[in-house]
Amino acid sequence: MYNNILTSNENGILTITINRESKLNALNIETLQEIKQAVTGAQTDATVTGIILTGAGPKAFAAGADISEFVNFDVKQSTKMSADGHEVMNTIERSAKVIIAAVNGFALGGGCELAMACHLRVASDNAKFGQPEVNLGVPPGYGGTQRLIQLVGKSKAIELLLTADAIGANEALEYGLVNYVTPLDDLLPRCCEILNKTATKSPMAIKAVINCINGYFQDGKDGFKTEIKEFGESFGTADFKEGTDAFLNKRKAAFQR
C-alpha cells in the first residue's frame, strides 16, 4: 500500500514508521503524502485510539528533507512543495486522534518540523533536534519558524534558527521542545503508556481540546471563542452524559468510539 512508510495497529495504537533507514528516513515528497494519507485514514477508523509516528532504525526519526529531490526546483515548484508540506503538518496537528512523535535519533529540518506538528514528543536519549536550513540558503519550509517559537519561545527559537545549531534530547526537554526523554529501548513503550491513558478519556473532549489549542495559534481564529463553542456543544454529546453520570455514580466512564 505504501512505498515509504510502514503501518501497524496493535491494541488500538496505530504506529506509522518512516521506512527509509538507508537515507536516515529523509522526507521526500511521496513520504510526506503517505504520512498524510495514513493520518487521514485513521480519523475514521474506529479501531484507532492513538497514533505513534516514528522512524525506522536507531539513528534517525527523520534527518530532514530529501535535498536531492528538490535541488533543481524553481520558485514555483518550491513554493508548491512548501505549501503541500504545510498541509501535511496541519493534518497532523489537527488530528482528532492523539499523535505522539517517538523521536529516535536525528530530527533535523523537516524531521524536526514533523515532530513539532505532533501533539506530544517523546525522545530517546540519543535524539538530536535542529533546523539547519540556513546552511542551505533557505528558511524552514514546513512550519518550523512558527511551531518552534510556540514550543520554546521567541528568543531560543531565533537562536536555533539563525545558528542552525542542533540540541540534544535533554536540552530539548529543558526548553520544552519534548515532553519526555527515555532510553531508546523504552521509547515506544513510553509512547504506548501515554496513549493508553488518553484512550480512556472522552474522544469528543480530546478532539475539542485539540481544536481549542489550535484555535489559539491559527490565523483568523479566536481560541477563546473556540473554547466557548466547544464547551457548549459538548453538553449535547453522549460523552458528556456518560462522563458526568460516571462521576456522580463513582464509577469508571466507558466512552464509546
DSSP string, the chain: --SSEEEEEETTEEEEEE--GGGTT-B-HHHHHHHHHHHHHHTT-TT--EEEEEESSSSEEE-SB-HHHHTT--HHHHHHHHHHHHHHHHHHHT-SSEEEEEE-SEEETHHHHHHHHSSEEEEETT-EEE--GGGGTS--SSSHHHHHHHHH-HHHHHHHHHH---EEHHHHHHHTS-SEEE-GGGHHHHHHHHHHHHTTS-HHHHHHHHHHHHHHHSTT--HHHHHHHHHHHHTTSHHHHHHHHHHHTT-------
Distance CA 138, CA 127 (A): 24
Cβ neighbours of residue 170 closer than 8 Å, sequence gap 6 or more: 125, 181
Amino acid 42 reads A
pLDDT of residue 104: 96
Which is catalytic among the residues 21, 34, 93, 113? 113
Give catalytic status of residue 93 as yes or no: no
Q: Is the pLDDT of residue 220 over 80?
A: no
pLDDT of residue 71: 87
pLDDT band at 130 (very low <50, low <70, confident <90, very high): very high
pLDDT of residue 256: 86
Distance CA 169, CA 186 (A): 14
Which is catalytic among the residues 133, 174, 230, 242? 133
pLDDT of residue 66: 85
Are 64 and 132 a contacting pair, CB within 8 Å? yes
pLDDT of residue 113: 98
Give catalytic status of residue 113 as yes or no: yes
pLDDT of residue 75: 95
pLDDT band at 43 (very low <50, low <70, confident <90, very high): very high
Q: What is the mean pLDDT of residues 177-182?
A: 98
Distance CA 230, CA 224 (A): 10
pLDDT of residue 82: 94
Are 14 and 44 a contacting pair, CB within 8 Å? no
pLDDT of residue 99: 98
Q: What is the mean pLDDT of residues 22-50?
A: 97
Residue with cell 530530527: 107
Beta pairing class for 60-62 and 106-108: parallel
pLDDT of residue 68: 85
Cβ neighbours of residue 87 closer than 8 Å, sequence gap 6 or more: 36
